[in-house]
Structure 1
Amino acid sequence: MNEILKQLLEEDQHDLKTMPIDKVERDRERRKDVLRILNSGGAAAAIDYIHAAVIFQHGETLEDWWQAYILGVKAIDLGFRPKWVAAVAMDRWLLHKGKPLKYGNQVIPFGGIYRIPPLEQNTSDEDRHLWNCPSLLELFSFKNLRGFMAYEGVSTLKNEDL
């Protein structure tokens, strides 16, 4: 395991919890550091690519989120399980392209509540399961969501059609 990538991920996670005023700039610098490590051959293990993917997932651009997806898939190719890190990156990329989400791993804050964006209709619960993502029922119940913090104060409605 690349210890520098691990440290960068720990800093990333700390910044998510504490939200320092210079978080955006710190995120940018981390992504630059990750690219230097990747370009110099400093990542070898699947966990290295997961660390890098999570850092890029907290990016600002379509390219950042696509890079997160590519890094997540590389980790999967090297044997990393579960697969949800790549799925979350894919959904974030799709969300910002204005496309329906494949797995349903993103929510949109809207007037103090969270809204689930449009979903790709061809993705089955079996596909979601293969990528360690919540089923539609779990998604609409806000259970087992991936890629963001859990919120206890969310209420749900029962929909007999699901």
Structure 2
Amino acid sequence: MRALLLRYITFSVLSGYTFGQDNTELEKLYISDQSARQTQPINWEELREEDEARREHVLSILRNGDIQSARDYFHAAMIFQHGNSPEDIRLAHSFATIAATLDSSLENVNWLKAATWDRLLLNFDQPQWFGTQFVRDGDGNLTLYKMQPDVISDEQRTAWSVPTVSESLQLLEQRNNRN
């Protein structure tokens, strides 16, 4: 089913489909997705259920042909980025790539494209390229998920609005010291 949706998306983009106004319903789902991650402490089981409901809602919007603008694809990508399956992350990366293709100046769109790629690699237990994904170690501290050295330069990371590896490590140290 999701493979069929991915083909539909690709066909829509490549066929010169006219992209319209931002979808306000999708924007509300995005805001809900982001707000749910600001509440502390997070009830992870409840959040997983809410995330699944949001992803299903996005799919129904997609089926209706109502994901049209770069911002719509960005919002859909962020919602699917919080999925747990490789299929969810593949869709997130596809949505992010389409959003970046439609409007590369959209804030955080290149970062999201990098993050979804890294998340997909993490899902397949492969080293990430950009350094956007973190995991908890045995002591509960965040650590940078394993990386493939020298695939992406710090200049490329900066161009994609991704922190350099040293910046990410500094942020991790600060965050872990707060906890």
TM-score of the pair, normalised by structure 1? 0.83
Give the number of equivalent residue pairs: 148
Deviation at 1:27, TM superposition (A): 1.0
- Structure 1 segments of 4+ aligned residues over 4 angstroms from their partners: none
Aligned mates of 1:101, 1:64 — CA distance in 2: 17
Aligned mates of 1:7, 1:153 — CA distance in 2: 29
Deviation at 1:152, TM superposition (A): 4.4
Q: 1:154 maps to what in 2?
A: 176
Q: 1:76 maps to what in 2?
A: 100
Taking the TM superposition and a 5 Å limit, the aligned residue runs for 1:123-162 are 123-142=152-171, 152-154=174-176
Taking the TM superposition and a 5 Å limit, the aligned residue runs for 1:7-18 are 7-18=28-39
Q: Alignment partner for residue 103 of structure 1, among 130, 133, 143?
A: 130
Deviations 1:117-139 (A, max 9, x none): 22112211122122211112212
Look up the equivalent residue of 1:84 and give its one-letter code.
W
The sequence identity of aligned pairs, in percent, is 32
Deviations 1:93-119 (A, max 9, x none): 111211011100011111121111221
For the pair 1:119 / 2:143, whether they are aligned, the reply is no
8 Å contact 1:72–1:86 — kept in the other structure?
yes
Aligned mates of 1:33, 1:142 — CA distance in 2: 34
Deviations 1:41-95 (A, max 9, x none): 1011111011101100111101111111110010001114341011111111111
Ranges in structure 2 where 5+ consecutive residues have no aligned partner? 1-21
Aligned mates of 1:130, 1:74 — CA distance in 2: 18
Ranges in structure 1 where 5+ consecutive residues have no aligned partner? 144-150, 156-162
Aligned mates of 1:106, 1:118 — CA distance in 2: 9
TM-score of the pair, normalised by structure 2? 0.76
Deviations 1:19-39 (A, max 9, x none): 355221211111011011112
* Higher percent of residues as helix: 2
Q: Alignment partner for residue 51 of structure 2, among 24, 27, 50?
A: 27
2:38 match: secondary structure: helix
Look up the equivalent residue of 1:115 and give its one-letter code.
T
Which segment drifts farther, 112-121 or 3-12? 112-121
